[in-house]
Amino acid sequence: MNDSTTSILPTVDAHIYPRGGLDILSRDEVARLRDASAGGMHDLLRRCALAVLTSGSASDDPRAAAELYPDFDIQVLQQDRGVRIDLVKAPAMAFVDGEIIRGVAELLFAVVRDLAYTAIELRENSGSRDLTTSEGITDAVFGLLRNARILHPIDPNLVVCWGGHSINRDEYLYTKQVGYELGLRGLDICTGCGPGAMKGPMKGATIAHAKQRHRRMRYIGITEPGIIAAESPNPIVNHLVIMPDIEKRLEAFVRMGHGIIVFPGGVGTAEEILYLLGILLREENASLPFPLILTGPAASAPYFEQIDRFLRLTLGEVATSRYEIIVNDPEKVSKRMATGIRKVREYRIAEKDSFFFNWSLEIPLAFQQPFIPTHEAMAALDLHHGRKPHELAADLRRAFSGIVAGNVKEDGLRRIEEFGPFKIHGDTDMMQSLDALLRAFVEQRRMKISGSYRPCYEVIA
């Protein structure tokens, strides 16, 4: 292992040998990970690995790490004795006294594992998965999670926490308090793996788990390649999974989680709320218990009031039956969640469904097919009254997904730079409410951690 000084920041060259879960790869998998052509995976591997090696970064600019470490590279080699990962000019912050931090190494192995699996199992014409059907996509999500070894037949105890990466100090401290109360009740945490509301609940739960001598705690982070560079994994994540796209990432959350808590956030959080409500409002899921709580400190009450008004206007009063808003009461949130999860357990037993993967939840193909946010696709979204709530929720979710892409994803940033902001059309009252919500996100600095925000969208009534 040798120090290198040719990059902008201190770097290290290293050889790493994974242990457990990534002992061997096929020649085909290694070839795909090394392939730098248009159809290869090497550039994606390099970007995801760099995000993990800069874990804990405060930046949400997906290009920042690449600019700071322009000479970084990673190579995956299959040797007679197993896999070797070579790091060239890697960020020195990932090392202590010449040795890579163990948690960072585990996350790096997860990157290689998941990208190798995706490259082979989910490639076009592979024959292993039919990604044109709802059942095939759900099977693919299950396969990715099983390959990551995070599906365990234990009593339901996994709480998914959604919320923004850019939140204020009071909101962050509140997420820690909620995580602490959840941890005292033996509940594990799953988030999008980044900073802010994705880190706070895990940090709070670590103290509570230590108090309760809870030794097999799970802090699961689920991300996707377009997001990880802007939201690098926080240091507490001990199980990282990289899904191929945002739709499979969202399905993984709702299939694995036994309940969901939503903290204040921006467009990504709104996308997640609309995704879940769009599914729960379907008739097939009407009787399925799924605790959903929106919560934050007292100062965040206006935020949730505005979210609530937007949901009532767009999806109707029926949507309010599927969520509860609790302000400034972490203990009440955790008690309600624990009660809700007990009902989930009873339902799974009665329906003979698994504890670790929610097969009973009906997710239509419209929520599973990847949405590519081009300017044409964004302008074509049908955001008008008169549609079924779950159908409208699907298109609203796509609208927010496009804004997320324009804010932090490399492909989205390039489209905005080339063609200007996305144009979003719809009924006047709906667009006015959407515009007010987005303006509030901007004013509250929920779109970007630092620097001024330039909208990547234009709402047209």
Mean pLDDT of 29-56: 81
Confidence of residue 229 (pLDDT cuts 50, 70, 90): confident
> What are the pLDDT digits (tens) for 362-387?
999 999 999 999 999 999 999 999 99
Which element (helix H / strand E) includes 415? helix 410-419
133 belongs to a structural domain: no
3-state secondary structure of 236: coil
State the pLDDT at residue 333. 98
Which element (helix H / strand E) includes 136? helix 134-147
Contact call for residues 263 and 175 (beta carbons, < 8 A)? yes
Residue 390 has pLDDT above 60, yes or no: yes
Confidence of residue 5 (pLDDT cuts 50, 70, 90): very low
Mean pLDDT of 407-419: 90
Q: Which long-range contacts (CB under 8 A, 24 or more apart) does 146-153 make?
A: 147/113, 147/114, 147/117, 147/121, 148/110, 148/113, 148/114, 148/239, 148/241, 149/21, 150/218, 150/220, 150/239, 150/241, 150/256, 151/256, 151/356, 151/357, 152/356, 153/354, 153/355, 153/356
Task: Domain of residue 14: give its range.
Answer: 2-123
State the pLDDT at residue 21. 57
Residue 61 has pLDDT above 80, yes or no: no
Mean pLDDT of 111-126: 80
Tell me: do 105 and 11 sit in the same domain. Answer: yes
87 belongs to a structural domain: yes
Mean pLDDT of 386-412: 92
Angle 103-106-109 from CA coordinates, rounded to 5° = 155
Tell me: do 163 and 86 sit in the same domain. Answer: no
- Beta strand 259-262 with 158-162: parallel, antiparallel or unpaired? parallel
443 belongs to a structural domain: yes
Tell me: do 201 and 346 sit in the same domain. Answer: yes
225 belongs to a structural domain: yes
Quote the pTM value.
Answer: 0.91
For residue 28, give the CATH number of its domain. Answer: 3.30.1850.10
State the pLDDT at residue 418. 94
Q: What is the DSSP letter of 445?
A: T
State the pLDDT at residue 423. 96
Q: Which string of DSSP letters, residue by residue, matches 325-382?
A: EEES-HHHHHHHHHHHHHHHHHHHHHHT--SSS-TTS---GGGTSPP---HHHHHT--
Confidence of residue 43 (pLDDT cuts 50, 70, 90): confident
Confidence of residue 272 (pLDDT cuts 50, 70, 90): very high
Residue 158 has pLDDT above 90, yes or no: yes
Location of structure tokens 């939140």: 167
Tell me: do 278 and 225 sit in the same domain. Answer: yes
3-state secondary structure of 253: helix
Choose the final residue of a domain: 123, 155, 186: 123
3-state secondary structure of 205: helix
Residue 234 has pLDDT above 70, yes or no: yes
Choose the final residue of a domain: 329, 356, 383: 356
List the single range of 47-61, 192-206, 285-299, 317-331 with lowest mean pLDDT.
47-61
Confidence of residue 122 (pLDDT cuts 50, 70, 90): confident
Tell me: do 174 and 117 sit in the same domain. Answer: no
Tell me: do 247 and 390 sit in the same domain. Answer: no
Give every CB contact of residue 139 below 8 A, 6+ residues apart in sequence.
Answer: 129
Tell me: do 67 and 162 sit in the same domain. Answer: no
Contact call for residues 180 and 201 (beta carbons, < 8 A)? no
Mean pLDDT of 299-304: 94
Smallest CA-to-CA distance from 105 within 53, 58, 143 is with: 53
3-state secondary structure of 324: strand
Location of structure tokens 């059907």: 133
State the pLDDT at residue 378. 96
Tell me: do 339 and 198 sit in the same domain. Answer: yes
Residue 152 has pLDDT above 80, yes or no: yes
State the pLDDT at residue 127. 60
- Give all strands (DSSP E) within 115-258, no chain letters: 158-162, 188-191, 219-223, 239-242
Residue 1 has pLDDT above 50, yes or no: no
Q: Report how far apart, in Å, the C-alpha atoms of 425 and of each of 369, 384, 388 are.
A: 22, 9, 18
Tell me: do 47 and 86 sit in the same domain. Answer: yes
List the single range of 24-28, 203-207, 293-297 with lowest mean pLDDT.
24-28
State the pLDDT at residue 4. 45
Kindly report the three-state secondary structure assignment for every residue of 167-188: CCHHHHHHHHHHHHHHHHCCCE
Residue 155 has pLDDT above 60, yes or no: yes
Confidence of residue 9 (pLDDT cuts 50, 70, 90): confident
Tell me: do 149 and 67 sit in the same domain. Answer: no
- Pairwise pLDDT comparison (224 vs 124), residue with the higher score: 224
Longest dimension (CA), the chain: 65
Residue 8 has pLDDT above 80, yes or no: no
Confidence of residue 453 (pLDDT cuts 50, 70, 90): confident
Residue 6 has pLDDT above 60, yes or no: no
128 belongs to a structural domain: no
Confidence of residue 20 (pLDDT cuts 50, 70, 90): low
State the pLDDT at residue 383. 96
Residue 420 has pLDDT above 90, yes or no: yes
Which range is most confident: 37-46, 116-125, 209-218? 209-218
131 belongs to a structural domain: no
Residue 14 has pLDDT above 90, yes or no: yes
- Give all strands (DSSP E) within 224-297, no chain letters: 239-242, 259-262, 292-296
Phi, psi of 304 (to 5 degrees): -70, -30
Q: Report how far apart, in Å, the C-alpha atoms of 314 and of each of 54, 300, 380, 404 are.
A: 40, 22, 18, 20
Q: How many domains does the chain have?
A: 3
- Based on the number of CB atoms within 10 Å of its own CB, is 272 exposed (0-12), middle (13-18) or buried (19 or more)? buried
For residue 191, give the CATH number of its domain. Answer: 3.40.50.450
Mean pLDDT of 256-271: 96
Mean pLDDT of 223-241: 89
List the single range of 34-38, 206-210, 304-308 with lowest mean pLDDT.
34-38
Choose the final residue of a domain: 356, 390, 411: 356
132 belongs to a structural domain: no
Tell me: do 450 and 303 sit in the same domain. Answer: no
> CB 154: neighbour CB atoms within 10 A?
12
Mean pLDDT of 276-297: 96
Tell me: do 78 and 105 sit in the same domain. Answer: yes
State the pLDDT at residue 34. 77
129 belongs to a structural domain: no
